[in-house]
Homo-oligomer: A and B are copies of this chain.
């Protein structure tokens, strides 16, 4: 990038204190910025870098104490958000994929929209319907009858199995598998497992993002549903017939077992696990490594395995850490009791 500071200030609606005609050549974190870069400061933990940053300009909160005069300032209410606006505007990668590569395979009974690009060795099977302005990167495979909405971006080495439906503006990172069989077996009287055919599908609604190497299993019957605006991090497991409510965020390595329903606007931190067939109320926050074995009806924060309300979990954790002291006190009490018993015998003589 090569942009005048003035243009940047106008874009974020900020006030320049310094040289409006300075040229900005990059955006960087305060501790990594070099000459020519614009950086930002909003979090007290990063103030220690202010005196030494090599950035040429800085986004700061209105009223910031501008003790350096070798740097240009843009004052603004929300420096962090303004910075993200700049990143979106100047640095968003363009993913230069265009047209349908000659090594891509499109089945004659598939439909491809306007402006859609398919990378090398992409496979679009019979009955697929791909919307407009979709980008599908190299070696990604769509089996029969998969639908993909407009403006969706699918990276390389992704697998989508038959009959699954992907919405608009969805982003799917490499290695993710959508529509593999759910994990369903019936033991016979000898305990031998027989596969229950998994004949449902997966529905991914609009504006969902799925990380790398995620697995979303198809329903045994019906659909596994990831509702709109859900964001899912790498290596997450979504089992068959799960339903994830709108705008819920699921961090890396969490796993949701079969038929569980998670409400809207929930946040699951990393490595959380949920058993099957339960329901989680909307606006619930499950902290890292929480283990959820029962439905949660009351929104709030939950921690631990088995999980408890955070305030209770923290209280129990504090008591747990006091256990050596409690054991000592019990022992003291026992000794005191013994002493008292002797004294009382003496008194009663």
Residues of A within 8 A of B (CB): 27-29, 32, 80-81, 84, 87-88, 91-93, 96, 103, 105, 119-121, 123, 126, 137-139, 141, 143-144, 155-157, 159, 161-162, 171, 173-177, 180-181, 183, 185-186, 191-197, 199, 209, 211-213, 215, 217, 220-222, 229, 231, 233-235, 237, 239, 247, 249, 251-253, 255, 257, 265, 269-271, 273, 275, 288-289, 291, 293, 305-306, 308, 315-317, 319-324, 326-327, 329-330, 333-334, 336-337, 340-341, 343-344, 346-348
Contact = CB atoms under 8 A, between A and B. Distances in A.
A87 B234 contact: no
Given A180-B212, A186-B84, A237 B252 contact: yes
Counting chain B CB atoms within 10 Å of each CB, the highest count among A155, A221, A344 belongs to A221
A139 B141 contact: yes
B217 A234 contact: yes
A155 B180 contact: yes
Given A121-B123, A180-B212, A289-B289, 19 more contacts: A80-B186, A87-B196, A92-B197, A119-B123, A171-B181, A177-B234, A193-B247, A193-B249, A213-B215, A235-B237, A237-B252, A269-B275, A270-B275, A305-B305, A316-B323, A326-B326, A326-B327, A337-B340, A347-B348
A191 B221 contact: no
A126 to B, nearest CB: 8
Given A123-B120, A320-B316, A330-B333, A159 B180 contact: no
Contact of A156 (B91, B159, B269): B159
Contact of A96 (B144, B247, B249, B346): B144
A87 B183 contact: no
Counting chain B CB atoms within 10 Å of each CB, the highest count among A28, A93, A174, A344 belongs to A174
Contacts of A173: 177, 180-181
**A-B residue pairs, 10 tightest by C-beta:** A159-B174, A319-B323, A177-B212, A180-B212, A215-B234, A173-B180, A91-B199, A141-B156, A237-B252, A212-B215
B253 A237 contact: yes
A88 B197 contact: yes
